[in-house]
Structure 1
Amino acid sequence: MAYIKEKQVAIEAALKAAAFCIDVQNELIATDTLEKGDKSPVTIADFGAQALVCQHLRTVFPNDIIVGEENASSLQLPENLPLLEKITAFTQRFVPEANNERVCEWIDLGNGEVNKERFWTLDPIDGTKGFLRREQYAIAIALIENGDPKVGVLACPMLPVDYDDPKRGVGCLFVAVRGEGALMASLNSHRLQLKPIHLVDGRDPKRLRCAESIEHGDHELQKKVIKEAGLHADSLKLDSQAKYGVVARGDAALYLRLPSPTQPDYREKIWDHAAGVLLVEEAGGKASDMLGQRLQFASDQTMKHNQGVVVSTPVYHRAVIDALRYFLA
C-alpha cells in the first residue's frame, strides 16, 4: 500500500475542516461574507477551513507545497478585523493556539505554486453558494505527483448517504489512493468505516442519469448530449465536487460540465477537480475534457489545456464524447 501517511493526514485534515464548516454553518450570519474578484461569496468557513487544512498538512509534511484557493490579503485590511476575529475564534475550537496572525499565516501556506514534482491542492469549500443555501458543498484535498492525483479526499457534510433514501442521513467522506480503489464512509457514524464504492449498475435505470451543476455550464447543450448518450432519467442538480461522489458510488452515471456560452474561454481550476477525478477513476470510471483529452493538473492553477469536464463510466464516457463531436461538428 502506498501513501499511507498522506492518506491518513488528508482524512484527518478533511474531517477537522468539515467539523469547522458545520459549526460555522450552524451559526452563520449572512453578513459575514467578503466578495471575491469573481463576485462569488466567501464565508468565514472558506478561510478557516483552509487555515486548518494547511496547518495540519504542513505540520506533518513541512516541505510540501500547498496550492489553495484562498489567500489572507483581504482579511488583513483594517475594516475586516471583526471578520478575522470570528475566523480565529472558530479556529481556536480545533487549534487552541490559533490567533489572528497565525490564522493568516496558515491560510497563506496555501499560496504555493504548481509544479511537476509534488504538491497538495485544496479547495476549502467547493460550492460556496451551496454552503450558503445549506445544500451541497465539499472540502476537497488532493496530492499531485508528476501531474497525476495520487491521494484524494472529499468531505461532503450535506450529501445524503444514499441520494434516493434520505432517511439514511447526510454527511459523506470519500477517499481514494491511486491503484487502491475508491472508498466512502458516513460522517455521522461513531467510528469511521470506509467501504468500497463502485460505479452505477447498468441494470438500475433510475440511476442512469447525469449529475450537473446548478448554475455553471451550458445546460442546453448538456441536455442534448445527455439524451444522445442514452441517459433518460432526470438529472441530479447539485453544487461542488459532491457530483464526483455520486458518480463514484453509482447514484449517477455521468458528470458533465461544458463551458457556458457566456464564458466560452473559461477554464477550470485544478482544486475543483483533482480529488474528484481520482475518486471516479479509482471507482472504475473515466475522466477527460470535452474533447476526450486527459485532464492536466500540473501546468498551472488553471487547467488551461483543457475545456469542459466529462466524467462517467467507460461506456457512457465514449457515448458522451461521440455525442459532443456530433453536436460541435
Structure 2
Amino acid sequence: MSIALIQSIDHHSCRFSRFRFSTVRSSLLFLPRTAKYRRELEAAVDVVEKACCLCVDVKKSLGSTSSGGGILEKNDQTPVTVADFGVQAFISLELKKMFPSIPLVAEEDSTFIRSNFLADNVLSVVNDRVEPEHKPLTRDDVLEAIDRGGKDAFTFGAKPSTYWVLDPIDGTRGFLKGSEALYVVGLALVVDGEIAVGVMGCPNWKDDYSDSPSINDQEAKSGIPTLGIVMAAHVGCGTWRRRLSNMLNSNASSTNWSHWTRCFVDGSFLVHEARYCIPDSQTWNSLPLSASFSSTNDPAAVGEKQVLLLPTCCGSLCKYLMVASGRASVFILRARTNTIIKVWDHAVGIICVLEAGGQVTDWRGNPIDLAADQVERRVIFPSGGVIVSNGNLHNQILKMIPASSSII
C-alpha cells in the first residue's frame, strides 16, 4: 500500500477511512485526545528524539579521536559505546521523572563502565541533555539510572505487568560504521502484557525525495535525501513517522519538523515478488524458504525461482522499521542454539509493524509472548524464530516452513 494513501482520523474511535493523503502538523495530532496512552507516547517521542541527538554527538566525538576509548566489547563479542550507556541513563532518568511507578527493562547495566573507567564520559554526555531540578547529576546518579533497567533490577512474577522496554542502540556495529549504516533507538511501553506504545528513532535513515510525499517542494528540488526518522505507534491508532533532520541539523527549517505521515506495510501478495531482509549473522541458505527460492541482492537481476534479499543492516529493529515503512516485505529470523533472544530487540518493532498493517509471529504462527520470562521480562522464546511480514504473505511463508524446522 502506498504511503501516499494516508487515512483520515475518526478522533473518537481511532479508526481510519482511506481516501486522501495528508501531512499532520504540530505535536501528535494523529492521536485522538481520548487515546489512552497519549501522554506516554508523547514522552517516548520526546526522549527518543533527544537520545538520537545524543547518539549523533557521541558519534562525532568518537570519529574525532583515534584511541577508540569510548568503545568496549561485551562478553558476547558485541560492541558497546558511551552512547549506549548515555542513552539508557538519559531515558531512564527522564521516564522516572514522568512515570516513577513504571519499571524499565533495558539492555545495559553499569558493570562495563564501572570496570573500564568510562562512567565520567557517560556522565558528561548525559549532563549535556538532562535538566536536573536542583544540581548537576553525579556519577552515582547516572550509574543508578543505568542499573534501573539492568538485570535483577526488578522482579515481575507471573502476572501481567506494565513496564518500559528500551534498546538504547540496536545495531551498535552500524552506529560505529559511519553515516551510511542504520542503527535504532527503540522504546516500547508494555501494559498488562500487551504492547501499547512504541517509538523508534533512526538517525541515518535516508528517504529518496522522489518516493516521499511528505517532503516539501524545496527539498524535492534539491534532490537531497532527508536524514533520519522517528516512527511512533499507539495501539489502535496506527504507525506514523516524521523526519529527524530538523533536530539533527540546526540549519533545517523548523516549519516542517512536526509533520507526521502515516506508515503502511507494502502491498506484495506473491512470495517471489517480496523484498526480504534477514539477520546479518545468518544466510539465506539457513532458512527453509531457500528450498524453493534462491536469493540475489541485485534488484535488476531477480530471476525465476529467485527473491530479492535487501542488503543487511545491523540489529533487528531496523528490519522491523523497514517492514513497517514498506521498504521491505518480510523479515525472517531463525533461532540459534545458545543464542538468547532479547525482548528489546523486538518489542517496539512488533507494535510498529502491527499498527502499519503487518503481522509478527513465531514460526508456528503464534504471537510473540513477552511474558515468557516470568521473572524479569528480558527474554522471549519464539518457536523456531520470528517472522515479520506485511500480513499478505504471512500464511504463505508459514506453509513453506516444514514442521520439522527447529533451532539451528
TM-score (norm 2): 0.73
C-alpha separation in 2, matches of 1:94 and 1:84: 16
The match for 1:221 among 286, 307, 315 is: 286
Structure 1 or 2: more helix by fraction: 1
Deviation of 1:44 after TM superposition, in Å, equals 0.5
Task: Please state if 1:84 is matched with 2:119.
Answer: yes
CA contact (8 A) 1:295 1:306 kept: no
Match runs of 1:29-108 below 5 Å: 29=65, 30-77=68-115, 80-81=116-117, 83-95=118-130, 97-108=136-147
Contact in 2 for aligned 1:120/1:141 (Cα 8 Å): yes
Q: Which structure has the bigger radius of gyration?
A: 2
Change (3 A) 1:108 1:328: closer
User: 1:24 and 1:208 mapped to 2: Cα distance?
Assistant: 37
Instruction: Say whether the 8 Å CA contact 1:143–1:151 is kept in structure 2.
Output: yes
Aligned match for 2:309, one of 215, 230, 234: 234
Q: 1:233: Cα distance to partner?
A: 2.4
CA RMSD of aligned residues (A): 2.6
* Other-structure match for 1:287: 360
Q: Structure 1 residues 163, 27: CA separation in 2 closer, same or farther (over 3 Å shift)?
A: farther
1:18 Cα deviation after fit: 0.6
Percent of counterpart pairs with the same letter?
A: 28
CA distance in 1, matches of 2:210, 2:47: 29
Query: Which of 187, 195, 205 matches 2:244?
Result: 187
User: How many positions carry a matched residue from both structures?
Assistant: 322
Partner of 2:395: 318
Query: Does 1:17 pair with 2:17?
Result: no
Q: Residues of 2 paired with 1:114 and 1:140: CA distance?
A: 22
- In structure 1, list runs of 5 or more residues that go unmatched: none
**Aligned partners of 2:273 and 2:307 also within 8 Å:** no
Moved more, 194-203 or 125-134: 194-203
Correspondences of 1:111-126 after superposition (within 5 Å)? 111=150, 112-113=153-154, 115=156, 116-126=160-170
Given that residues 197 and 351 in structure 2 are in contact (C-alpha distance below 8 angstroms), is that contact kept between their aligned partners in structure 1? yes
Contact 1:210 1:231 in 2 (8 A): no
Match of 1:302 in 2: 379
Please say which of residues 220-229 and 153-162 is displaced more in the overlay. Answer: 220-229
State the alpha-carbon separation in 1 of the partners of residues 342 and 77 from structure 2: 16
Counterpart CA distance in 1 for 2:306 and 2:356 is: 20
Letter in 2 for 1:269: K
Contact 2:274 2:329 in 1 (8 A): yes
Q: Indicate the residue corresponding to 2:30 in structure 1.
A: none
Higher mean C-alpha deviation, range 241-250 or range 302-311:
302-311
1:255-309 C-alpha deviation (Å, 9 max, x unpaired): 11113xxx42434110000000100000011001122211011222111354411
Query: Following the alignment from structure 1 to structure 2, what is the Cα–Cα distance between the partners of residues 226 and 275?
Result: 31
Whole-angstrom distance in 1 between the partners of 2:79 and 2:292: 30
Alignment partners' CA distance in 1, 2:73 and 2:87: 17
Classify 1:102/1:14 alpha carbon distance in 2 versus 1 (closer, same or farther; 3 Å).
same
- 2:348 match: secondary structure: helix
* Contact kept in structure 1, 2:209 and 2:225, CA below 8 Å: no
Q: Distance in 2 between matches of 1:286 and 1:37?
A: 33
2:12 is aligned to: none
SS at structure 2 position matched to 1:101:
helix
- For residue 277 of structure 1, give the secondary structure of its aligned residue in structure 2: helix
Q: 1:326, CA displacement in angstroms?
A: 6.7
Deviations 1:143-164 (A, max 9, x none): 1112211100000111113499
Q: Hey, what does 2:186 align to over in structure 1?
A: 140
For residues 324 and 292 of structure 2, the distance between their equivalents in structure 1, rounded to whole angstroms, comes to 18
**CA distance in 2 between partners of 1:225 and 1:188 (Å):** 42
* Native 8 Å contact 2:73 2:79 kept in 1: yes
Whether 1:270 aligns to 2:343 is: yes
When residues 280 and 225 of structure 1 are mapped into structure 2, their CA distance, relative to the original with a 3 A threshold, is farther
Q: Does 1:152 align with 2:198?
A: yes
1:257 aligns with 2:333: yes
Please tell me whether residue 248 in structure 1 is matched to residue 324 in structure 2: yes
Contact 1:71–1:108 (8 Å) recurs in 2: yes
Moved over 6 A (4+): 163-166, 203-207, 228-231
The residue aligned with 1:3 is 37
- 8 Å CA contact retained: 1:161, 1:172: no
